[in-house]
């Protein structure tokens, strides 16, 4: 009890220090940007950070920035939910059933090594330049990674706990909730963190190649206009949103899972 209280106090004391380190690290990154822009001395190549304030405010005022951010976030959410759901189910099945794992492992290896660009182009060619093709392309790119992580977690499940659940004849739903999922939680968290980081990058490529809205589409538009400032405005706006998801949702979830295991 005392040890748990001490860990909680230590975690509370370390939180301001962690936030301080993060703030200093970001400040150093901005300083490097300022220095690089000064050495370049050409706003058409790399503008100063404060030079983005006016175009950012204009994009925000017009509503374009929020609209395109919303479209991209919607695709990220759909692809993330589908990839995590299918990947967790596939990974658990492969980790629990050796014969199924032997049959599907070559497929998993092929899809893990298939370039994302190839899948995106094929989905657009087969399904069409539409929303379904975009989400399917991103989902198929991420399912193998999720399945691989969850498969390793399923292989590491404690057989003693599984035997105990069988002895007490626990229903399948209760066994999943109280025996399997708590052990898989760190692996699910790891797959989610890596998944959200990869999915949003693939979504931007999907939008760049074949959508008429979203952050990727806007970056493509301003790339054609050689407008580095607006490319950075849209890129950093979306990065800020994804960092907020990482810091406010995924990292607290990961710390909670680790406390449970401790």
**Residue range 185-214, pLDDT digits in tens:** 778 888 888 888 889 889 999 999 988 899
Is residue 229 situated within a structural domain? Answer: yes
Contact yes or no for 71/214 (Cβ under 8 A): yes
> Structural domain tally of the chain?
1
d(CA 143, CA 91): 9
The mean per-residue pLDDT over the stretch 149-158 comes to: 83
The reported pTM is 0.80
- The radius of gyration computed from the CA coordinates of the chain, to the nearest angstrom, equals 22
Is residue 251 situated within a structural domain? Answer: yes
For the cut 80, the answer to whether the pLDDT of residue 21 exceeds it is yes
CATH assignment of the domain containing 242: 1.10.3720.10
Tens digit of each residue's pLDDT (9 = 90 or more) over 213-226: 999 999 999 999 88
Is residue 7 situated within a structural domain? Answer: no
What is the four-CA torsion angle of 167, 152, 199, 79, rounded to 10 degrees? -30
The mean per-residue pLDDT over the stretch 243-255 comes to: 78
- What's the domain range around 116? 58-259
Copy the structure tokens of residue 218: 């806007």
Is residue 71 situated within a structural domain? Answer: yes
Q: What per-residue confidence (pLDDT) applies to 81?
A: 94
Query: Across all residues in the chain, what is the average pLDDT?
Result: 84
Cα(first)–Cα(last) distance of the chain, in Å?
Answer: 12
For the cut 90, the answer to whether the pLDDT of residue 137 exceeds it is yes
d(CA 227, CA 230): 6
Is residue 143 situated within a structural domain? Answer: yes
For the cut 60, the answer to whether the pLDDT of residue 92 exceeds it is yes
Closest-CA residue to 142 (of 214, 241, 76, 210): 76
Q: What per-residue confidence (pLDDT) applies to 166?
A: 65
Distance, C-alpha 44 to centroid of its chain? 31
Is residue 27 situated within a structural domain? Answer: no
């Amino acid at each position: 009890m005392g040890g748990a209280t001490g860990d909680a106090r230590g975690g509370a004391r370390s939180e301001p220090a962690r936030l301080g380190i993060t703030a200093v690290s970001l400040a150093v990154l901005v300083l490097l940007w300022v220095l690089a822009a000064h050495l370049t001395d050409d706003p058409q190549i790399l503008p100063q950070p404060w030079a983005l304030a006016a175009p950012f405010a204009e994009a925000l005022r017009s509503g374009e920035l929020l609209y395109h951010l919303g479209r991209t976030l919607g695709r990220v959410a759909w692809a993330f939910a589908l990839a995590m759901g299918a990947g967790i189910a596939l990974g658990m099945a492969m980790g629990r059933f050796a014969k199924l794992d032997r049959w599907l492992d070559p497929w998993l290896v092929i899809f893990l090594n298939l370039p994302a660009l190839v899948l995106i182009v094929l989905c657009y060619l087969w399904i069409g330049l539409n929303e379904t093709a975009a989400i399917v392309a991103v989902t198929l790119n991420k399912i193998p990674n999720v399945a691989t992580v969850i498969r390793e977690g399923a292989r590491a499940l404690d057989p003693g706990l599984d035997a105990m659940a069988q002895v007490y004849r626990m229903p399948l739903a209760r066994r999943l909730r109280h025996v399997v999922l708590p052990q898989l939680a760190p692996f699910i968290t790891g797959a989610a963190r890596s998944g959200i980081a990869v999915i949003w990058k693939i979504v931007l490529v999907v939008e760049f190649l074949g959508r008429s809205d979203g952050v990727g589409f806007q970056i493509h538009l301003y790339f054609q206009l050689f407008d580095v400032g607006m490319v950075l405005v849209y890129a950093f706006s979306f990065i800020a949103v994804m960092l907020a998801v990482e810091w406010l949702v995924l990292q607290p979830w990961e710390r909670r899972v680790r406390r449970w295991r401790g």
